[in-house]
Structures are given as C-alpha cells and as structure tokens.
C-alpha cells in the first residue's frame, strides 16, 4: 500500500489577516522592535501588508468620487481619524493625497534597512492610532439586531 506524502506549504498567519486593526497592531509592534533595535534584519511584513491594504482600499482607487468607485469609505474614515492632523482634512482629494503619501512612507520603511528614529516613531504612532480607531469602529455582536424569527 502506498502512502501519500504531502508537504504542506508554510502558511504565514499574516496572509490570513485582512482586518486593519490586527495588521496595524502587528505593524506597530514591528516598528517598535525596529526602533528599539531588536528587529535585526527581519522583514517588516505586517508593515508591507498594511501598506498594501491601504493602497488597494483608499490610495490607488480609480475615480474615487464616482458612486461606482471601489473606495472603501470605512477605511477612508479610519485614515482621517488616524492621520496626524486628520481632523483638518475636509476634502476627499486632500485625504487621498495624504493616504498616497502615507502608503508610500509605509512601503519605503518596510523595504529600507535603515530609517530615521523620528520617522519610525511617527509611523508606529500612526499604526497604533489606526488600530485603536479600527477596533472602536467594530460593532459588538450584542449591538446587532436580532433575527426577526428568533426570540
């Protein structure tokens, strides 16, 4: 009788994460480790993943002002709340400009070996704020309306 030898490809847990709160939290931890020189030369995978999520949902969306746009309004609100000075942003164009600028900074920091400590600290603070606001926007299962046929 023959046996099947299946080698499973290693699964990166971060590939399964899609919610901004957990990815931003992990990115903040990576930046904190790098800031404290505990990271060594490990890649900043969560930071890269966060950059990709923000880029695909807000920063690089075709025709963001059209109703058929793929712009994620929840992510846009989160970005406005988490960006330093975001409360002063009143127009979508300004938010998109800041979002593109921020995703470029995140991607560059994820791929560069050395970064300024002030830049790392600012991005870490942004990631913490983004994670905090994303968690605050989640609804509790107890807040959801019940099923109409259940008592």
Lowest-pLDDT range of 18-22, 96-100, 110-114: 110-114
Q: What is the pTM of this model?
A: 0.76
54, 136, 90, 71: CA torsion to nearest 10: 40
Which pLDDT score, from 0 to 100, does residue 26 have? 93
Note the pLDDT of residue 71.
Answer: 75
Return the C-alpha torsion angle 135, 43, 34, 99, nearest 10: -50
The answer to whether position 5 is within a domain reads no
Look at residue 6 and tell me if it is in a domain: no
Is 8 a residue whose pLDDT tops 90? no
**Per-residue pLDDT tens for 35-79?**
887 656 677 889 999 998 888 877 677 776 677 667 778 888 888
Asked if residue 31 belongs to a domain, the reply is yes
- Would residue 1 count as lying in a domain? no
Q: Is the pLDDT of residue 30 over 80?
A: yes
pLDDT surpassing 90 at residue 5 = no
CA-CA-CA-CA torsion sign (74, 138, 144, 57) = positive
What is the helix, strand, coil percentage profile of the chain, to 5?
60, 0, 40
Query: Is the residue at 82 inside a domain?
Result: yes
**Residue 9, pLDDT score:** 45
CA distance 99 to 51: 10
What residue has token string 């309004």? 73
Report the number of distinct structural domains present in the chain. Answer: 1
pLDDT score at 72: 75
Average pLDDT value for the chain: 79
Question: What's the pLDDT band for 125 if we cut at 50, 70, 90?
Answer: very high
Question: Does some domain include residue 110?
Answer: yes
Structural domain span for residue 131: 17-61+70-137
Residues with Cβ within 8 Å of 72's Cβ and at least 6 positions away in sequence, in order, are: 57, 58
Q: Give the percent of the chain with pLDDT over 70.
A: 72
* Any domain includes 27: yes
CA 74, CA 77: separation in Å to the nearest integer? 5
Provide mean pLDDT across the span 132-141: 79
Q: Distance between CA 74 and CA 135 in Å, rounded? A: 12
* The token pair that represents 24 in the structure block: 């931003």
């Amino acid at each position: 009788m023959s046996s099947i030898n299946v080698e499973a490809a290693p699964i990166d847990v971060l590939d399964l994460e899609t919610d901004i709160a957990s990815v931003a939290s992990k990115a903040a931890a990576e930046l904190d480790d790098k800031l404290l020189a505990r990271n060594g030369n490990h890649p900043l995978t969560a930071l890269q993943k966060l950059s990709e999520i923000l880029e695909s949902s807000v920063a690089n969306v075709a025709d963001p002002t059209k109703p058929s746009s793929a712009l994620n309004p929840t992510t846009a609100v989160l970005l406005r709340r988490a960006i330093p000075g975001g409360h002063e942003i009143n127009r979508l164009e300004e938010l998109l400009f800041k979002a593109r600028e921020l995703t470029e900074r995140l991607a560059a920091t994820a791929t560069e070996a050395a970064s300024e400590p002030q830049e790392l600290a600012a991005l870490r603070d942004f990631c913490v704020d983004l994670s905090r606001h994303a968690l605050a926007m989640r609804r509790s299962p107890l807040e959801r309306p019940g099923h109409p046929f259940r008592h």
